[in-house]
């Protein structure tokens, strides 16, 4: 029997920055463990969870391109490799608490992880395994937010849940303006026309074109990941 939650299959996007927490070592194991526990609690309910991990905690191509003659494509390949490190770390953490987890990479690293094969990813999810998609889209000049939108559409997940370090999308910068309001809902058009820095344009338009709602929420608040996955009200919902 199918659970009666809002979503049956979700795509959770975890940025590198969120994984870092306040740990100087790029990854905070308290955070990966918190993610693993919350994901475990929802997979037990029968909700299928795929994850796209970022890499910004280790290497961001755009900020390195140009330095020491590093061209953008090479810098981006290093960035994609960074996401694989995060993916392996998160996989190990998940499996340490008994959640079967597969990593699939957008380019081949077959000694380390499976290559991305759409049907195989879906099969893993149907069997109750968590699938972590690493190496972004496999192409330079893209982001892992775009990878999240792309994989979400490919595997027919119903929503992109973007876990960040802020409570959601505000009408102004909450660090500068104490009266900034958290917006509960937004249309795609509002995000793109007001240039709200939610996701890059490629990612948000890909969601819009495929009618994929996006929930932006704070991962550092305990319980939020499982709430978001269960479709409970949290953060900002972008759609329509
Ligand atoms: N990247 C890329 N193509 C992709 C996804 C990522 O080239 O499809 C590279 C890019 O250099 C990016 C880095 O990988 O800066 C890390 O990804 P991202 O910045 O999206 O991570 P996040 O901001 O989520 O931590």
pLDDT digits (tens, 9 = 90+) for 76-92: 999 999 999 999 999 99
**Cβ proximity of 204 and 198 under 8 Å:** yes
Number of domains in the chain: 1
Phi-psi region of 66 (alpha: psi -120 to 50; beta: other; left: phi over 0): left
CATH code, domain with 235: 3.40.1160.10
Let me know if residue 134 belongs to a domain: yes
Let me know if residue 67 belongs to a domain: yes
For residue 80, how far is its CA from the centre of ligand 1 (angstroms)?
Answer: 6
Which tokens sit at 52?
């796209």
Residues 6+ apart with CB under 8 A from 49: 9, 10, 12, 39, 42, 43, 125, 130, 229
The count of residues in the chain is 240
Q: Ligand 1 test: best mutation among 21, 57, 60, 154, most atoms within 8 Å of CB?
A: 60
pLDDT digits (tens, 9 = 90+) for 161-212: 999 988 999 988 888 998 999 999 999 999 999 878 889 999 999 999 999 9
Predicted TM-score (pTM) of this structure: 0.96
Let me know if residue 226 belongs to a domain: yes
Full residue range of the structural domain in which residue 40 is found: 9-239
ipTM of this predicted complex? 0.98
Let me know if residue 52 belongs to a domain: yes
For residue 179, how far is its CA from the centre of ligand 1 (angstroms)?
Answer: 32
What is the Cα–Cα distance from 48 to 217, expressed in whole angstroms?
19
């Amino acid at each position: 029997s199918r659970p009666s939650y809002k979503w049956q299959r979700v795509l959770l996007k975890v940025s590198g920055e969120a994984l870092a927490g306040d740990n100087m070592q790029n990854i905070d194991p308290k955070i990966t463990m918190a993610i693993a526990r919350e994901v475990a609690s929802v997979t037990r309910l029968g909700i299928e969870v795929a994850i796209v991990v970022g890499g910004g905690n280790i290497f961001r191509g755009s900020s390195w391109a140009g330095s020491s003659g590093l061209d953008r494509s090479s810098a981006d390949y290093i960035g994609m490799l960074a996401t694989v490190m995060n993916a392996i770390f998160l996989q190990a953490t998940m499996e340490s608490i008994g959640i079967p987890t597969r990593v699939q990479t957008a380019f081949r690293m077959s000694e380390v992880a499976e290559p991305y094969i759409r049907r195989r990813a879906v099969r893993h999810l149907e069997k109750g395994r968590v699938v972590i998609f690493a190496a972004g889209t496999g192409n330079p000049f893209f982001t892992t937010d775009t990878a999240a939108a792309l994989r979400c559409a490919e595997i027919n997940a119903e929503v992109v849940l973007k876990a960040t370090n802020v409570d959601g999308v505000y009408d102004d910068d909450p660090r500068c303006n104490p009266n900034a309001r958290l917006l509960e809902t937004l249309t795609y058009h509002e995000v793109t026309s007001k240039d709200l820095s939610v996701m890059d344009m490629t990612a948000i338009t890909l969601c819009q074109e495929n009618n994929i709602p996006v929930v932006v929420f704070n991962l550092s608040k305990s319980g939020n990941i499982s709430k978001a996955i269960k479709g409970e009200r949290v953060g900002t919902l972008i759609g329509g």
